């Protein structure tokens, strides 16, 4: 039984990571009908921000109480990453105007490649790891091992998802975002500053991904190409949950993490990709617009 | 309406101009007596950029040392070495393309690299048909030096490493004898031919020695989360866990294994031999066993290795890993062959490399026995106090 | 039609007939060149290899264009069809076909058979994707094709008999410039005839408005399936040619990242345009090689000698150029336009009309 719970914990950890990053994909698709393939690389850059800032900050911890370390790093990384996302949006996506969304995809892919190789060229290929930001203790509860950091991660992730859910579904800004994804032409007529809301969307998506970046960089390692895999997987999670739907993205991420972990746990790990993606394909056959996606009613 | 196809016309004329300019360069082979051209095919971008960077640094150090001494002494004349570095992006087709470029356009005498077997094999095909010697510092896949159509060894492909088919058997023997292990688990990358090959050979050899492989778990290249596979391994309760993977993955794997509370002896391969392994893994890699052709533990290094380590540190500010050392030695082997034959000619150099001889370098003694696969000594290593320390086996005999 | 239009039409007719001869002549010359160049070494081998790569890229771009450009859908899995084609044709040439035949016979008879077989295998397996594509569009099709790509890679990695992750080798270098030329011609011919046929017009109508297409009795299901099958056949032939020039294939070569190359070539050249795919493929390959050359020249200049990783900057400059191109000319090089000699002449007037309309998208 402890095997099952251990795997469940693993699945939660991996799933929340996918969920955090996939939110960004889904939000941008919602307002711009564009798949921001550079999102995975924004996630990667946020990890590097967190890394450099932690190194810098930890040298000065004598001036700060230790429990402030983690929140400060989160705050700074989130702000920096949001700025980066807004800059990218202004420089690369906005000039495209109402161009076909396919050229937007190429731009997004190019921005991603640019970020990866810029980091590679400027910082180098050596992988790094964010030093422990809180004292790390490993607990063992009836055969299930978990660490204090894992608990923190899960708590922070769920908190972020809750905050985001609140913003998107209970504030005016969120309402504007959802309105834009519903019908883009009418919304400016209602006095909503569409450009501003789009920037806020990018910033929010990037901020959430930044939280994911800090977590990822602490638990795993960072290198210039780490965003590629996470990016594709988060995209899959977003589509699985119904692209454009924020709650769907969260659910999609958790499901994807669960499928990955449990397929390995109970079948051969060699066939993981095959089985996991076959399951996903089946899910899509039964719900072609994703789990929480709405079937699109096309007006003739 | 005249401007309608302007962009198109500009582009077409650009192609024509460029092709015209690019065509005539190169073509004429090698040295005009004073400059020896050597090509380097490395993975500078792609999934293993650190390997490419180390390779490039090892190469540049080797070339710089020779050039600073005035050049390589060939048949009484001092010749400078010119190094051409190309990035194969860790892609097989690009690797073939840049090998072709180095040969056809730069007119190099010989090529060193690539490092990953998947890139080295296509490159060796090209070198073989162009009759240019290619020395791979790192590839361990037997297909690199064997012509798959005829089953005979290739004439122009040489390596500096042992074959993973041999090394896997040695690893199994080491684990069985040294640690008296009866149950072993393996975690390997199914997408990468080095990892999978080593894992398969190890499993077969270990089972033939009478042990049992209680868990044989796979992951895909690029994965960073191994919790699921490690949980399964933990449940199987092995004595030793074998991780034939690259250092950036093994350091994470050991960290996660510790977090899960796994108690076993951890064994990895020379692919983990890098200072990055120690930095990334921290205290979690303490006690891990591995091996390499090269030991950066200065205390037990030979004078040549010591000198190499010190020059590398002075030039690049970091300790060399085995890729750097092997690349450095590849150049040494090449220089020795050129001097042996006294001519700057690809065919002659190839013949020199193929005659049985040995070379003493930073990675110990490399003995060529007439084919592309040399005999090489290895050192067993254990991580102690955050450093790589030579490990003297108590029960194991090669 | 007014008298003016009729006169214009008949003038056009005359001009075009001359152009047809010119085109045939040019093709014959090019074909002869593809024999002469390797034989007499008119261009060095590196450029020959690059030209072969360009040819293969053209085929892949055309195949991707059929789905992304003409059908307006989004396929991310063409690398999997390339994989299937590469493996099937390689297995045929290495294991099934006799190895000791006269090399010329092998090249003329066996090679096209194995390339076609590779294409057919890819086409057959693409039926698995074609059917779910009915219900899904846009992002969902991307996911389905992506999943298929991952599944193919995973399956091949696990099949020990064909080498799994260690790769498969043993092929002869059967892909030569003449063969690449022939297959590119076949690809262009297939795509062009498909697009300008009744079926093909159905494809474009699906892109513009699927419901309306259904209403005017376009059998959307049939059209979608056929487009997928043809597109993957072409991708399979591209893969087969690729395998026989590289002589070593691993599943790793055909992972997700490879699709990025094809997408860029299609959108760079211009969607829905055969000339665009050709130009996109050529530009992409050539610019990357040029950048490599330019950076190594820059590296020898003293100002840049201090920068340690100049080669890496290639992949910083290339996407930057691409972004600039997308901002200033987002429809790609050719936009929705087409080279004159590709469009059949009964279409020229109509073609100009709806191609211009497409540009307004």
Could you read off the pLDDT of C116-165 as tens digits, one per residue? 999 999 999 999 888 777 776 666 788 888 889 989 998 998 888 887 77
| Of residues C198 and A62, more confidently modeled | C198
Query: CA B107, CA B147: separation in Å to the nearest integer?
Result: 24
Residue B320, sorted as left (phi over 0), alpha (psi -120 to 50) or beta, turns out to be beta
The answer to whether the CB atoms of A145 and B260 lie below 8 A apart is yes
- pLDDT above 70 as % of chain B: 90
Both structure tokens of C261: 């190359």
The answer to whether the CB atoms of B93 and C247 lie below 8 A apart is no
Question: How do B387-390 and B240-243 pair as beta strands?
Answer: unpaired
Both structure tokens of A8: 């469940």
Residue A267 has pLDDT above 90, yes or no: no
Per-residue pLDDT of B318-372, as tens digits, reads 888 888 889 999 999 999 888 888 888 888 888 888 888 888 888 877 888 877 7
Question: What phi and psi values does residue A170 have, to the nearest 5 degrees?
Answer: -125, 5
Q: What is the DSSP letter of B148?
A: T
Structural contact between residues A290 and C171, judged by C-beta atoms closer than 8 angstroms: no
The answer to whether the CB atoms of A110 and C256 lie below 8 A apart is no
For chain B, say whether A124 makes contact (Cβ under 8 Å). yes
DSSP structure string for C139-169: HHHHHHHHHHHHHHHHHHHH-GGGTGGG-EE
Q: How confident is the model at residue C18 (pLDDT cuts 50, 70, 90)?
A: low
For chain A, say whether C284 makes contact (Cβ under 8 Å). no
Looking at residue B384, its pLDDT comes to 86
Query: Three-state SS for C247?
Result: coil
Query: Three-state SS for A221?
Result: coil
Task: List C residues 316-355 in contact with A (Cβ-Cβ < 8 A).
Answer: 316, 318-320, 322-323, 326-327, 330-332
Question: What's A2-286's CATH class?
Answer: mainly alpha
Both structure tokens of C151: 């599944």
Q: Partners for C (CB, 8 Å, 3+ pairs)?
A: A, B
Best to test chain B binding among A3, A17, A125, A220 (most B CBs inside 10 Å): A125
Both structure tokens of C49: 């290899």
Looking at residue B14, its pLDDT comes to 60
Both structure tokens of A231: 């990016």
Mean pLDDT value of segment C294-305: 72
| Of residues B11 and A111, more confidently modeled | A111
* Model-wide pTM > 0.80: yes
Q: How far is CA A221 from the centre of its chain?
A: 17
Q: Sign of torsion, CA C69 C73 C79 C82?
A: negative
Query: CA A90, CA A81: separation in Å to the nearest integer?
Result: 14
Query: CA A216, CA C38: separation in Å to the nearest integer?
Result: 52
Mean pLDDT value of segment B244-262: 89
Query: CA C81, CA C226: separation in Å to the nearest integer?
Result: 15
List all residues 6 or more positions away from A89 whose beta carbon is below 8 Å from its beta carbon. Answer: A198, A199, A202
Q: What is the DSSP letter of C68?
A: I
Structural contact between residues A219 and A6, judged by C-beta atoms closer than 8 angstroms: no
Looking at residue A253, its pLDDT comes to 92
Query: CA C266, CA C269: separation in Å to the nearest integer?
Result: 5
- Where do the DSSP E strands lie in chain C? 168-169, 248-249
Structural contact between residues B235 and B343, judged by C-beta atoms closer than 8 angstroms: no
Q: List the alpha helices (DSSP H) in chain B.
A: 6-22, 49-68, 92-101, 117-130, 164-179, 193-208, 227-236, 247-259, 275-281, 303-316, 322-341, 346-354
Q: How far is CA A167 from CA A186, A248, C193, in A?
A: 22, 15, 53
Q: Which of A218, C298, A124 is nearest to B317 (CA)?
A: A124
The answer to whether the CB atoms of A110 and C323 lie below 8 A apart is yes
List all residues 6 or more positions away from C256 whose beta carbon is below 8 Å from its beta carbon. Answer: A232, C76, C79, C146, C149, C150
Buried b (16+ CB within 10 A) or exposed e, A232-258: bbbbbbbbbbbbbbbbbbbbbbbbbbb
Taking each helix axis from N to C end, the angle separating A226-240 and A39-58, rounded to the nearest 10 degrees, works out to 130
The answer to whether the CB atoms of C49 and B96 lie below 8 A apart is yes
Structural contact between residues A268 and A18, judged by C-beta atoms closer than 8 angstroms: no
Looking at residue B28, its pLDDT comes to 34
Best to test chain B binding among C152, C252, C286 (most B CBs inside 10 Å): C252
Q: What is the mean pLDDT of chain B?
A: 83
* B49: closest CA of chain A, how far (Å): 5
The answer to whether the CB atoms of A278 and C326 lie below 8 A apart is no
- pLDDT above 70 as % of chain C: 84
For chain B, say whether C38 makes contact (Cβ under 8 Å). no
User: Torsion angle of alpha carbons B67, B68, B70, B74, nearest 10°?
Assistant: -40
Both structure tokens of C350: 């109509």
Residue A221 has pLDDT above 90, yes or no: no
Continuous segment of H or E residues that includes residue B379 = strand B379-384
Minimum-distance CB partner of A114 among C132, C268, C316: C316
Query: CA A103, CA B263: separation in Å to the nearest integer?
Result: 53
Identify how many contiguous H helices and E strands chain A contains and give both numbers. 10, 2
Mean pLDDT value of segment A130-144: 78
Domains detected in chain B = 35-162+302-377 (3.40.50.2300), 164-292 (3.40.50.2300)
Minimum-distance CB partner of A3 among B227, B235, B259: B235
Both structure tokens of A135: 């004292």
Looking at residue C115, its pLDDT comes to 92
Omega before B114 cis (within 30°)?
A: yes
Structural contact between residues C71 and C207, judged by C-beta atoms closer than 8 angstroms: yes
Helix, strand, coil percentages (3-state) for chain C, rounded to 5, are 80, 0, 20
Minimum-distance CB partner of B50 among A13, A126, A272: A126
Q: Which of A259, A25, A30 is nearest to C147 (CA)?
A: A259
Compute how many other C-beta atoms are within 10 angstroms of the C-beta atom of residue B396.
16
Q: CA-nearest residue of chain A to B190?
A: A270
Could you give the angle at the alpha carbon of A285 between the alpha carbons of A283 and A286, nearest 5°? 70
Most confidently predicted of B216-230, C77-91, C276-290: C77-91
List all residues 6 or more positions away from B340 whose beta carbon is below 8 Å from its beta carbon. Answer: B352, B357
The answer to whether the CB atoms of B118 and C279 lie below 8 A apart is no
Contacts of C158 in chain A (CB under 8 A): 270-271, 274
Note the residue count of chain A. Answer: 300
Query: CA C84, CA C129: separation in Å to the nearest integer?
Result: 14
**A141 - beta bridge partners?**
A144
User: Torsion angle of alpha carbons B117, B248, C320, C330, nearest 10°?
Assistant: 80
Q: How far is CA B17 from CA A136, B11, B13, C290, C293, in A?
A: 62, 10, 6, 12, 14
Contacts of B260 in chain A (CB under 8 A): 6, 145
Minimum-distance CB partner of C150 among A103, A228, A273: A273
* C126: closest CA of chain A, how far (Å): 14
Contacts of C334 in chain B (CB under 8 A): 8
Residue B185 has pLDDT above 90, yes or no: yes
DSSP structure string for B123-137: HHHHHHHHT--EEES
Task: List C residues 236-295 in contact with B (Cβ-Cβ < 8 A).
Answer: 242, 245-253, 279, 282-283, 286, 290, 292-293
Minimum-distance CB partner of C53 among B15, B97, B130: B97
Looking at residue C1, its pLDDT comes to 47
Contacts of B45 in chain A (CB under 8 A): 117, 120
Best to test chain B binding among C43, C46, C288 (most B CBs inside 10 Å): C46
Query: Three-state SS for C133?
Result: helix
Question: What phi and psi values does residue B350 have, to the nearest 5 degrees?
Answer: -60, -45
Query: Three-state SS for A170?
Result: helix
The answer to whether the CB atoms of C165 and B148 lie below 8 A apart is no
Q: CA-nearest residue of chain C to A298?
A: C211
Residue B20 has pLDDT above 70, yes or no: no
Structural contact between residues C247 and C175, judged by C-beta atoms closer than 8 angstroms: no
Query: CA A209, CA B76: separation in Å to the nearest integer?
Result: 64
Per-residue pLDDT of A172-210, as tens digits, reads 998 998 888 888 888 888 888 888 998 999 999 999 999
Q: Which of A53, A55, A43, A54 is nearest to A119 (CA)?
A: A43
Q: CA-nearest residue of chain B to A14?
A: B225
Task: List C residues 15-54 in contact with A (Cβ-Cβ < 8 A).
Answer: none
Continuous segment of H or E residues that includes residue B390 = strand B387-390
Query: CA C228, CA C206: separation in Å to the nearest integer?
Result: 14
Domain ranges of chain A: 2-286
Note the residue count of chain B. Answer: 398
Can you tell me the ipTM of this complex? 0.82
The answer to whether the CB atoms of C246 and B196 lie below 8 A apart is no
Residue B282, sorted as left (phi over 0), alpha (psi -120 to 50) or beta, turns out to be left
Query: CA B197, CA B195: separation in Å to the nearest integer?
Result: 5
Query: CA A82, CA C258: separation in Å to the nearest integer?
Result: 30
- Where do the DSSP E strands lie in chain A? 138-141, 144-147
């Amino acid at each position: 039984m402890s095997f099952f719970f251990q795997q469940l914990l693993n699945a939660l950890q991996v799933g929340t990571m996918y969920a955090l990053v996939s939110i960004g994909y889904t939000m941008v698709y919602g307002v711009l009908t564009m798949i921001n393939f550079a999102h995975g690389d924004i996630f990667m850059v946020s990890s590097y921000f967190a890394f450099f800032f932690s190194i810098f900050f930890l040298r000065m911890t004598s001036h700060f109480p230790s429990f402030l370390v983690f929140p400060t790093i989160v705050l700074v990384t989130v702000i920096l990453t949001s700025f980066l996302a807004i800059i990218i949006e202004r420089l690369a996506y906005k000039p495209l105007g109402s161009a076909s969304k396919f050229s937007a995809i190429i731009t997004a892919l190019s921005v991603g490649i640019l970020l990866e190789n810029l980091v590679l060229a400027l910082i180098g290929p050596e992988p790094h790891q964010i030093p422990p930001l809180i004292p790390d203790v490993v607990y063992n509860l009836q055969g299930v091992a978990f660490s204090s950091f894992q608990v923190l991660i899960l708590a922070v992730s769920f908190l972020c998802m809750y905050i985001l859910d609140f913003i998107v579904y209970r504030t005016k800004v969120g309402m504007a975002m959802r309105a834009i994804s519903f019908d883009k032409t009418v919304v400016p007529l209602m006095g909503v500053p569409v450009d501003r809301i789009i920037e806020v969307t990018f910033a929010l998506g990037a901020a959430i991904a930044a939280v994911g970046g800090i977590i990822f960089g602490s638990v795993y390692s960072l290198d210039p190409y780490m965003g590629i895999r996470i990016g594709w997987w988060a995209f899959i999670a977003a589509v699985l949950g119904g692209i454009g739907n924020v709650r769907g993205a969260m659910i999609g991420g958790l499901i994807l993490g669960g499928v990955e972990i449990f397929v390995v746990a109970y079948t051969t790990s060699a066939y993981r990709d095959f089985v996991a993606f076959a399951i996903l394909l089946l899910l899509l056959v039964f719900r072609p617009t994703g789990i929480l996606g709405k079937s699109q009613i096309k007006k003739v | 309406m005249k401007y309608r196809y302007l962009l198109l016309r500009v582009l077409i004329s650009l192609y024509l101009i460029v092709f015209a300019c690019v065509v005539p360069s190169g073509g004429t082979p090698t040295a005009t007596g004073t400059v020896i051209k050597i090509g380097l095919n490395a993975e500078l971008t792609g999934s293993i950029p650190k390997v490419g960077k180390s390779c490039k640094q090892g190469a540049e150090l080797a070339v710089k040392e020779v050039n600073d001494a005035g050049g390589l002494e060939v048949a009484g004349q001092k010749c400078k070495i010119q190094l051409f570095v190309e990035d194969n992006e860790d892609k097989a087709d690009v690797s073939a393309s840049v090998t072709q470029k180095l040969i056809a356009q730069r007119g190099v005498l010989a090529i060193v690299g690539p490092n990953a077997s998947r890139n080295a094999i296509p490159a060796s095909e090209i070198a073989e048909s162009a009759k240019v010697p290619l020395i791979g510092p790192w590839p361990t896949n037997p297909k690199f030096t064997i012509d798959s159509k005829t089953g005979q060894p290739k004439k122009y492909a040489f390596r500096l490493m042992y074959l993973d088919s041999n090394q896997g058997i040695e690893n199994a023997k080491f684990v069985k004898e040294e640690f008296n292990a009866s149950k072993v688990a393996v975690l390997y990358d199914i997408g990468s031919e080095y990892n999978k090959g080593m894992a398969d050979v190890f499993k077969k050899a270990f089972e033939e020695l009478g042990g049992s492989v209680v868990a044989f778990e796979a992951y895909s290249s690029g994965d960073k989360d191994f919790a699921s596979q490690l949980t399964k391994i933990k449940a199987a309760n092995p004595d030793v866990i074998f991780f034939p993977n690259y250092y950036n993955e093994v350091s994470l794997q050991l960290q996660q294994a510790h977090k899960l509370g796994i108690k076993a002896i951890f064994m990895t391969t020379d692919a983990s031999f890098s200072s990055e392994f120690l930095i990334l893994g921290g205290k979690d890699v303490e006690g891990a066993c591995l091996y390499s052709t090269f030991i950066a533990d200065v205390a037990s290094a030979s004078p040549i290795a010591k000198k190499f380590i010190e020059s590398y540190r002075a030039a690049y500010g970091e300790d060399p890993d085995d890729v750097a050392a092997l690349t450095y030695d590849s150049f040494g082997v090449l220089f020795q062959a050129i001097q042996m034959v006294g001519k700057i000619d690809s065919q002659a150099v190839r013949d020199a490399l193929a005659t049985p001889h040995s070379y003493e370098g930073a990675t110990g003694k490399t003995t060529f026995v007439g084919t592309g696969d040399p005999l090489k000594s290895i050192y067993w290593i254990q991580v102690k106090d955050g450093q790589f320390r030579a490990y003297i086996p108590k029960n194991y005999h090669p | 039609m007014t008298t003016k239009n009729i006169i214009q039409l008949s003038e056009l007719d005359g001009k075009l007939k001359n152009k047809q001869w010119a085109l045939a002549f040019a093709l014959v010359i090019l074909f002869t060149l593809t024999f002469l160049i390797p034989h007499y070494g008119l261009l060095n081998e590196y450029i020959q290899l690059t030209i072969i790569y360009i040819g293969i890229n053209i085929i892949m771009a055309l195949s991707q264009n059929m789905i992304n450009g003409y059908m307006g859908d989004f396929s991310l899995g063409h690398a999997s069809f390339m994989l299937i084609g590469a493996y099937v044709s390689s297995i045929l040439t290495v294991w099934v076909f006799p190895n000791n035949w006269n090399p010329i016979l092998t090249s003329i008879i066996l090679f096209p058979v194995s390339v076609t077989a590779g294409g057919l295998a890819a086409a057959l397996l693409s039926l698995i994707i074609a059917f779910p594509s009915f219900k899904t569009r846009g992002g969902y099709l991307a996911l389905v094709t992506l999943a298929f790509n991952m599944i193919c890679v995973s399956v091949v990695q696990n099949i020990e008999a064909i080498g799994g992750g260690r790769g498969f080798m043993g092929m002869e270098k059967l892909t030569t410039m003449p063969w690449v030329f022939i297959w590119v011609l076949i690809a262009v011919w297939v795509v062009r005839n498909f697009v300008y046929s009744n079926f093909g017009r159905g494809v474009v109508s699906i892109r513009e408005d699927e419901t309306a297409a259904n209403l005017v009795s376009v059998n959307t299901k049939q059209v979608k399936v056929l487009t997928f099958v043809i597109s993957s056949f072409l991708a399979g032939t591209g893969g087969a040619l690729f395998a026989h020039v590289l002589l070593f294939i691993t599943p790793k070569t055909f992972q997700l990242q490879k699709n990025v190359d094809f997408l860029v070539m299609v959108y760079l050249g211009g969607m829905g345009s055969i000339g665009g795919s050709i130009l996109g493929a050529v530009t992409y390959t050539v610019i990357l090689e040029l950048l490599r050359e330019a950076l190594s020249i820059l590296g020898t200049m003293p100002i840049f000698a201090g920068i340690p990783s100049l080669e890496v900057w290639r992949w910083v400059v290339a996407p930057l150029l691409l972004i600039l191109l997308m901002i200033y000319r987002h429809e790609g090089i050719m936009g929705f336009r087409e080279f004159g000699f590709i469009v059949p002449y009964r279409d020229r007037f109509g073609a100009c009309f709806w191609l211009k309309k497409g540009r307004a998208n």
